[in-house]
Amino acid sequence: MRTQVAIIGAGPSGLLLGQLLHKAGIDNIVIERQSGDYVLGRIRAGVLEQITMDLLEQAGVAQRAHAEGLPHDGFELLFKGERHRIDMHKLTGGKRVMVYGQTEVTRDLMAARAAAGLNTVYEASNVSLHDFDSQQPRVRYEKDGVQHEITCDFIAGCDGFHGVARASVPASAVQLYEKVYPFGWLGVLADVPPVGEELIYANTPRGFALCSMRSHTRSRYYLQVPSDDKVENWTDTLFWEELARRLDPAARERLVTGPSLEMSIAPLRSFVAEPMRFGQLFLAGDAAHIVPPTGAKGLNLAASDVGYLSSAFIEHYRERSQAGIDHYSARCLSRIWKAERFSWWFTSLMHRFPETGEFGQKIQEAELDYLVNSEAASTSLAENYVGLPMKL
């Protein structure tokens, strides 16, 4: 079989790329090792930058996000028992974010791809990449015991942190940068009303907590837990009791608890692979980078990678230009590293690090105090949170 772009992975990166290329008349196939239901079953983050919303618009899949998403103009920082609102809308000259679950983004992209009758191979096994350092790259996979081979012009590795694409590149050709944090996030999804209208990021003596949401009736909460903690150590009751301990009295008063729909622990890491292009193979999204979820940048970085990559492919086919392709990696990495910095900074500011001792604690408190009392510092936080501009 032949196509123009073979996309590995049917997460947000792969599906958004497939949709943008389809809209531009570029033939593509998506090869996914899991089932569609499995992909939808992964609970991930839920804050979309305007840039991501714009790309969903371009892909023709933003309708539900506009109808059901929650536009947010600010969020709150809770520390030393007090909440301080960061007014993003005012500080950034009118920008905001959209609270809308990644699962719903993926669902919308899947539905659009199916409606367009595009080729998506789920439950593909033994996916392998070949000759991407030539002009005739190939992808092989097995489906229902039958071997398949795709010849293509380009391969997009949208297969996440544990995918095959980056693993197919010779180790000598890729530089890895990584930082693993000494804690994880215990997350709960529950059909209970959120504790507030906006997100609350809490730095407390017992550890970090985040109060988020998916709608006015569905909430998403997170607690900082030791990196060796196990979800088996937690019950719904224990979770709600610990969350309540980390909230201020007013929020605690409004907390509505209920049975968890999902409970899981995610490790926190910062990771970047450089470069993101290897001949005719291009990495996008989690295949190339990971951020700690504190700054809500994971999905948004995946989207901006895909924005750059789809533009590069469109330019190649329409204008026979290599410029976008040749600049892809540098353009992505410039934005990625700024988001890595912000995510690392926000994580370092909001979590407890016992190993930094009393001095480290005092520095954290001083930075929080400065942050909420300095318009310049709050503006810096706000402009990173809503998303830095994409320089095409």
Q: Which residues bind ligand PHB (CB under 6 A)?
A: 45-47, 199, 210, 212, 220, 293-296
Question: Is 297 annotated in the active site?
Answer: yes
Of 34 and 215, nearer to ligand APR (C-beta) is 34
Q: Does 9 bind ligand APR (CB under 6 A)?
A: yes
Question: Is 201 annotated in the active site?
Answer: yes
Q: Does 159 bind ligand APR (CB under 6 A)?
A: yes
Question: Is 385 annotated in the active site?
Answer: yes
Q: Which of the listed partners (ligand APR, ligand PHB, none) does 46 bind, with a CB threshold of 5 to 8 Å by partner kind? A: ligand PHB
Q: Does 350 bind ligand APR (CB under 6 A)?
A: no
Q: Does 34 bind ligand APR (CB under 6 A)?
A: yes
Catalytic residue among 181, 201, 222, 308: 201
For 248, counting Cβ atoms within 10 Å of its Cβ (0-12 exposed, 13-18 middle, 19+ buried), the class is middle
Shortest distance in whole angstroms from residue 35 CB to ligand PHB: 23
Rounded to whole angstroms, what are the CA distances from 162 to 9, 129, 174, 323?
11, 15, 15, 30
Could you give the CA distance from residue 241 to residue 244 in angstroms, rounded to a whole number?
A: 5
Pick one of 24, 40, 44, 388: the residue that binds ligand APR (CB under 6 A).
Answer: 44
Of 90 and 218, nearer to ligand PHB (C-beta) is 218
Q: Lay out the site mask for ligand APR across 285-314 (x = CB under 6 A, - = otherwise).
A: xx-----------xx--x------------
Of 281 and 299, nearer to ligand PHB (C-beta) is 299
Residue 184 is encoded by which pair of tokens? 């994880």
Q: Which of the listed partners (ligand APR, ligand PHB, none) does 47 bind, with a CB threshold of 5 to 8 Å by partner kind? A: ligand PHB
Shortest distance in whole angstroms from residue 71 CB to ligand PHB: 14
Shortest distance in whole angstroms from residue 53 CB to ligand PHB: 16
Shortest distance in whole angstroms from residue 303 CB to ligand PHB: 15
Shortest distance in whole angstroms from residue 293 CB to ligand APR: 7
- Kindly report the backbone phi and psi dihedral angles of residue 8, in degrees, each rounded to the nearest multiple of 5, phi listed first: -95, 115
Shortest distance in whole angstroms from residue 120 CB to ligand APR: 11
Pick one of 19, 102, 304, 364: the residue that binds ligand APR (CB under 6 A).
Answer: 102
Q: Which of the listed partners (ligand PHB, ligand APR, none) does 10 bind, with a CB threshold of 5 to 8 Å by partner kind? A: ligand APR
Pick one of 18, 163, 196, 292: the residue that binds ligand APR (CB under 6 A).
Answer: 163
Angle between helices 298-319 and 50-58 (to 10 degrees): 40
Q: Which of the listed partners (ligand PHB, ligand APR, none) does 294 bind, with a CB threshold of 5 to 8 Å by partner kind? A: ligand PHB
Pick one of 21, 39, 98, 281: the residue that binds ligand APR (CB under 6 A).
Answer: 39
SS3 of the chain: CECCEEEECCCHHHHHHHHHHHHCCCCEEEECCCCHHHHHHCCCCCEECHHHHHHHHHCCCCHHHHHHCEEECEEEEEECCEEEEEEHHHHCCCCCEEECCHHHHHHHHHHHHHHCCCEEECCCEEEEEECCCCCCCEEEEEECCEEEEEECCEEEECCCCCCCCHHHCCHHHCEEEEEEEEEEEEEEEECCCCCCCCCEEEEECCEEEEEEECCCCCEEEEEEEECCCCHHHCCHHHHHHHHHHCCCHHHHHHCCCCCEEEEEEEEEEEEEEECCEECCEEECHHHCEECCHHHCCHHHHHHHHHHHHHHHHHHHHHHCCCHHHHHHHHHHHHHHHHHHHHHHHHHHHHCCCHHHHHHHHHHHHHHHHHHHHCHHHHHHHHHHHHCCCCCC
Shortest distance in whole angstroms from residue 8 CB to ligand PHB: 25
Residues annotated as catalytic (active site), given as ranges: 72, 201, 293, 297, 385
Which stretches of the chain bind ligand APR, using CB under 6 A?
A: 8-14, 31-34, 39, 44-45, 102, 124, 127, 158-160, 163-164, 285-286, 298-299, 302
